[in-house]
Homo-oligomer: A and B are copies of this chain.
Amino acid sequence: MGKNRGELWTKFMDYYSAVFADGALTEREKSLIALAVAHTVQCPYCIDAYTKASLEKGADLDQMTEAVHVANAIRGGSSLVHGVQMRNVATRLGM
């Protein structure tokens, strides 16, 4: 994607590299977070990249599996918790 409008690509990569560098969180922690987000948005390229990155940064499959379960629990749960709104509407309607 850097072949057209290359300076946009360069600027995004400059941001992206800084996001994934060691900082307040370690590269390993960031890879695991990225892996969970990649599963949340179901991005095949990103799952490939962050499976590899997580392993390279020292995470193991137990840790990576837990990260995916967190994605499952929060992504699904964010729908479930909106059921509170459904209940409020139903109560207001006297059901």
Instruction: Assess whether B24 is in contact with A60, with CB atoms less than 8 Å apart.
Output: yes
A7 to chain B: closest CB distance in Å? 6
Residue-wise interface mask of A (61-95) relative to B, using a CB-CB cutoff of 8 A (1 in contact, 0 not): 11111111111111111111111111101100101
Closest partner residue, chain B, to A30 (CB atom): B70
For the residues of A in contact with B, the DSSP-based class is helix
Cross-chain contact B69 with A75 (CB below 8 angstroms) = no
- The docked-state distance in angstroms from the alpha carbon of A93 to that of B34 is 19
Query: Of B12, B42, B74, which is within 8 A of A37 by CB?
Result: B74
Considering the complex, give the chain B residue whose CB is closest to the CB of A95. Answer: B55
Name A66's contact: one of B23, B35, B60, B95 (CB within 8 Å).
B23
